[in-house]
Structures are given as structure tokens and as C-alpha cells.
Amino acid sequence: MIKFNQIPYTGKEMEYIEQAVKSNKICGDGQFTKKCNAWIEQKTGTRKALLTTACSTALDMAAMLTEVGPGDEVILPSFTFVSTANAFVLRGATLVFVDIRPDTQNIDERLIEDAITDRTKVIAPVHYAGVGCEMDTIMEIAKRHGLKVVEDAAQGVMSTYKGRALGSIGDMGCYSFHETKNYSMGEGGALLIRDSETAEHAEIIREQGTDRSRFLRGQVDKYTWVDMGSSYLPSELNAAYLYAQLEEAEKINNDRLASWNRYYNKLSDLAAKGRIELPVIPEGCEHNAHMFYIKAADIDERDALIAHLKKNDIMAVFHYVPLHSSPAGRRFGRFCGEDRYTTDTFSRLLRLPMYYGLKAEEVDRVCETIEDFYSR
Ligand SMILES: *Cc1c(COP(=O)(O)O)cnc(C)c1O
């Protein structure tokens, strides 16, 4: 059987977990958490990176830091995971969904301005499949209207847009290290923060609303409760697992890209014949092969293809029931403009097996099974 996903494992994970245990520190912010934070800061050039318990909680923190509240509006795509929306709904904000582009499945930057009202506070672009949104345009719009930008870069670790790391371009960015992502700690994530004032505030929110970090650095002589917050620190055990993979990030990235390119080349004939659509990587975007997807002609063909792959022991999945058509999405938000591509993409897109260590023969077998489907 060819699995859809396989958890990443590079070899040093257990040794590092043992080190954490032997150092008698398995709660948050030990040596491995610090190493992971430093790795992210160095790799992305962001001012501050803080490991969190999930990308979802990094988004929750980011939403708190933007200080949105009831009556405020947040612009985001409907074609995304629920975490992007939940973070702002938890602050009482209203969601304004904007359509996506048919090439990258990212928010269509040309439609954002039409969605801006005098209540808009935040734009939350999502870098689908680790391919960058059109960030220059988004940042320019945000600047002109005085809005904050929170990047959902859950899928974008190791990807860049015009040379800049995804997650480091907006005011804040959020990474995921969930089991299904390129680099994993089981459950976990990170918050990336561009300016120092917000970074200090983020440390406070992350540690139960206390100024403990400042206290540990000797900047205040006692630590106390100064704001709202919660516990967003992951365990050192999880950070130890992650650090082993961050050390091997290039290797993992290259391995995934090799699989991605092999899929792309093998399936290009079918795409040239107009039977399927392949992902598009815009000029200036370096991606991380987070996923390989194709688009079938319609939902029936997509479902038949998933079934055909399954019959051949190959696991493929579809993605994202559009948020604006879900019960909570209808309750907490509205779609601005026309849904030309969001529901269409949900209906036609399927994701093929993709993970570190996927073999070339396996990619070939998936492609041959797809060709077989379309030859009938
Ligand atoms: C995976 C994912 C998340 C959630 O990540 P967790 O670490 O599981 O909380 C959020 N947004 C997007 C786009 C994702 O792909």
C-alpha cells in the first residue's frame, strides 16, 4: 500500500528526547525549544520565533496580538483549514471570505480591496501547499489601509517569496509542525513576529499573561500577571523530536522536491492533453513540496479517481470543504464577491501521497494508476 502520509523521522529524534529527559527538564522553553526558535529565526530572518503547541494556537496568539474584537472584520480565503478562521472568531471578529486564484489556490490579491470596509483590521493570507501568496500586493494594500497581516504559513516552512521566508513577511506568521506537515513534533507550531514590541507582548501572552521572560532575562525584578494569556509552550519532548528534523531540513526538503518534480514530469502528458490540471508555481516563489495535487474535471471524476487509486492500494484525499458553506462559516462570516474558484477547487482537487522517503517507484506507480484511469 502507498500511504498518503508517513511521519518524518531522520534518526536522531529518540536520542534528543532522551537528552531532554536526562537533563531533567521536559516542560517548555528548555534547550531544544530554544534551539528550534533560534533555527527558525536564523533561517527566516524574523525578529522573534516562539515555538507553540500548534499552528492553531500560534494563530490564536496572533489574533490576540492584532487586538481585533467584536465588530472588527478579518479578510481571509474560504479555501483553508478551520484554524485560520477560528483564531479570529474566538476574538469575536467577523470573517470576510474572498475567492482564491485558480492557479495557486491562494487568496486572489486583486479581490482583497473590494472586501475592505471601515471595520477591516486584518488580512490573513494562507500559503496553500507552501506556495507563496502575492505578498507584495497584499502588504501594499495593508499599508495603504492601515491593516495588520497575519500569514497562515502552516504549510510554508522552508518556502520563500521573492527570497523572503513565508511567515516572515507579514506582521506575524504561523508555522505548523503537526504530524502531517513537512517537519513535525506530533502537535506543535511556531509564531513568527516582525517587530520587537509585539514580540515582547507575544512572550507575555504565551506564558499565562505574565512577564516571566523579562524576569528570566533580568529586565524586571519579579514576575507578575500583566495581561491575558494562556500556556502555549510545547513540551521539550516535542521540541527535541522537531529539532532532529530541523537539523536535516535541507535533506527533507530536497527529498520532497524530488518526488514533487517526478510527479510533475510524469503527469505532464495528461495535463497537456487537458485531462487534468497541475499546480502552478509563480515566478519568484520557491516552494517546499508540501503537497502534490491535481485537479480533475469535476467532483464525480475526482471521486472516481480517488476510488480507483484506493482499489490499487494508493491513498489520495480531497481538501477543504469551503468554510463559507459550513454551518460555522455561515454564522461567523460572509463571502465577499463571487465564488468562482473556491467551491470549484474543493470539488476537483485531489492530493497524492507525499512524504519524506516516498520512493521514485511509488511515485511512478501512482502516476501509472492515474494514466490507467484516464485511458479508460
Ligand atoms: C495544518 C494547518 C493548520 C493547523 O495546524 P496545527 O499545527 O495542526 O494547529 C492551520 N492552517 C493550515 C493552512 C494548515 O494546513
Instruction: Show which of 228, 246, 264 is a domain's final residue.
Output: 246
Specify if 47 maps to a domain: yes
Residue with grid cell 509542525, as numbered in its chain: 177
318 and 198 part of one domain: no
- The pLDDT, as a whole number, for residue 326 is 97
- How far does the centroid of ligand 1 lie from the alpha carbon of residue 84, in Å? 8
Instruction: Show which of 195, 212, 246 is a domain's final residue.
Output: 246
117 and 230 part of one domain: yes
Domain count, the chain: 2
273 and 321 part of one domain: yes
DSSP tag of 116: -
92 and 189 part of one domain: yes
Using an 8 Å Cβ cutoff, are 129 and 100 in contact?
no
- pLDDT (average), residues 210-231: 92
Provide DSSP, 54-72.
-HHHHHHHHHHHHT--TT-
Contacting residues for 219 by C-beta, under 8 A, at least 6 apart: none
Global pTM exceeds 0.85:
yes
- pLDDT (average), residues 136-148: 98
- The pLDDT, as a whole number, for residue 376 is 83
Is residue 129 lining ligand 1, measured as CB closer than 6 Å?
A: no
- 186 pLDDT band, cuts 50/70/90, is very high
- How far does the centroid of ligand 1 lie from the alpha carbon of residue 80, in Å? 9
Instruction: Show which of 211, 246, 281 is a domain's final residue.
Output: 246
Residue with grid cell 486572489, as numbered in its chain: 108
- pLDDT (average), residues 57-83: 98
- CATH number where 221 lies: 3.40.640.10
166 and 307 part of one domain: no
Specify if 8 maps to a domain: no
Q: What is the mean pLDDT of the chain?
A: 97
d(CA 104, CA 289): 13
- 67 pLDDT band, cuts 50/70/90, is very high
107 and 118 part of one domain: yes
Structural domain range at position 270: 249-375
Using an 8 Å Cβ cutoff, are 35 and 142 in contact?
no
Note the pLDDT tens digit of each residue in 191-201. 999 999 999 99
104, amino acid identity: T
133 and 188 part of one domain: yes
Is residue 150 lining ligand 1, measured as CB closer than 6 Å?
A: no
Is residue 189 lining ligand 1, measured as CB closer than 6 Å?
A: yes
Is residue 81 lining ligand 1, measured as CB closer than 6 Å?
A: yes
Note the pLDDT tens digit of each residue in 256-306. 999 999 999 999 999 999 999 999 999 999 999 999 999 999 999 999 999
